[in-house]
């Protein structure tokens, strides 16, 4: 059973408009969430993260929103640019600090296409 789900496999947006990518999770122990961006034939690159003590984190054009009661997070990209076209993965990590760190659980990814 997938603990982190991205229900939209793809999303198409016009350049300059807002892109909203969604992610749902089922494990209430998750308390740290990340978004990664992946271009074809490259490894994922870290984009932005949010801790469960916050409900919003912003970095330039990228904002992540967390709704803990709904177990839902979203990534907003405003304004969208053609260079944002990539696959976006959300990931989640459980609570507590272990000496060994925590493993991430990834969603299936959403392919974003930004049209000029």
Partner 1 sequence: DVKVTQSSRYLVKRTGEKVFLECVQDMDHENMFWYRQDPGLGLRLIYFSYDVKMKEKGDIPEGYSVSREKKERFSLILESASTNQTSMYLCASSLPPVDTQYFGPGTRLTVL
CB 47 → partner 1: shortest distance, Å? 10
Nearer to partner 1, 13 or 90 (CB): 90
Nearer to partner 1, 32 or 65 (CB): 32
CB 79 → partner 1: shortest distance, Å? 26
* Contact positions vs partner 1 (CB under 8 A): 4, 6, 9, 32, 34, 36, 41-46, 49, 89, 91, 93, 97-104, 106-109
Nearer to partner 1, 15 or 72 (CB): 72
Nearer to partner 1, 63 or 93 (CB): 93
Distances (CA, A) of 68 to 43, 65, 103: 29, 10, 20
CB 45 → partner 1: shortest distance, Å? 7
Per-residue b or e along 68-90, where b marks 16 or more CB atoms closer than 10 Å to that residue's CB = eeebebbbbbeebeeebbbbbbb
Q: Which residue has the tokens 């296409």?
A: 113
Per-residue b or e along 37-63, where b marks 16 or more CB atoms closer than 10 Å to that residue's CB = bbeeeeebeebbbbeeeeeebeeeebb
């Amino acid at each position: 059973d997938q603990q982190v789900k991205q229900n939209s496999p793809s999303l198409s947006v016009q350049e300059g408009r807002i892109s909203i990518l969604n992610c749902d999770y089922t494990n209430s122990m998750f308390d740290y969430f990340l978004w990664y961006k992946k271009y074809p034939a490259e490894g994922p690159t870290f984009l932005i993260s949010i801790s469960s003590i916050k409900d919003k984190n912003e970095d330039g054009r990228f904002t992540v929103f967390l709704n803990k009661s709904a177990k839902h997070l979203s990534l907003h990209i405003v304004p969208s640019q053609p260079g944002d076209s990539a696959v976006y993965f959300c990931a989640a990590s459980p609570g507590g600090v272990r000496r060994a760190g925590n493993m991430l659980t990834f969603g299936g990814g959403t392919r974003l296409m930004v049209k000029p």
